[in-house]
Amino acid sequence: MSKNRVSRRQFLSYTLTGVGGFMAAGMLMPMVRFAIDPVLQSHGGGDFVQTELKVTDITEEPVKVDFSFEQVDAWYKSDVTSVAWVYKSGDQIIALSPVCTHLGCMVDWGADSAHPDQFFCPCHAGRYEKNGKNIAGTPPTRPLDEYDIQEKDGYLMIGPTKANTLS
Ligand code: FES
Domain ranges of the chain: 1-40, 49-162
pLDDT surpassing 50 at residue 101:
yes
Residue whose CA is at the smallest distance from ligand 1 atom 1: 103
Q: Is the pLDDT of residue 33 over 80?
A: no
Q: Which atom of ligand 1 is nearest to the CA of 105?
A: 1
Q: How many CB atoms lie within 10 A of CB 102?
A: 18
So what's the pLDDT on residue 8? Answer: 85
Q: Is the pLDDT of residue 1 over 60?
A: no
pTM of the model: 0.72
Query: Mutate which of 107, 119, 124, 127 to test ligand 1's pocket (most atoms within 8 Å of Cβ)?
Result: 124
pLDDT for residue 45: 45
Mean predicted confidence (pLDDT) in 96-100: 97
CA of 117 to the centre of ligand 1 (A): 18
- Structural fold of domain 49-162: Rieske Iron-sulfur Protein (2.102.10)
Q: Which residues of 127-140 are buried (b: 16+ CB within 10 A; e: fewer)?
A: bbbbbbbbeeebbb
Q: State the pLDDT confidence band at 37, using cuts at 50, 70 and 90.
A: low
Q: What is the pLDDT of residue 46?
A: 60
Residue from 121, 127, 128, 145 to probe ligand 1 pocket by mutation (most atoms less than 8 Å from CB): 121
- Residue 32 is predicted with a pLDDT of 76
Q: For the residues 123-131, what does the mean pLDDT come to? A: 97
Share of the chain above pLDDT 70, in %: 90
pLDDT 10s digits, 155-167: 999 999 999 999 8
Mean pLDDT of 105-131: 97
The whole-number pLDDT of residue 82 equals: 93
Calculate the average pLDDT of the chain: 89
- Three-state SS for 108-154 is EECCCCCCCCCEEECCCCEEECCCCCECCCCCCCCCCCEEEEEEECC
Asked if residue 98 lies in contact with residue 83, where contact means CB atoms within 8 angstroms, the answer is yes
Residues with CB under 6 A from ligand 1: 100, 102-103, 105, 121, 123-124, 126, 139-140
Q: Which pLDDT belongs to residue 43? A: 42
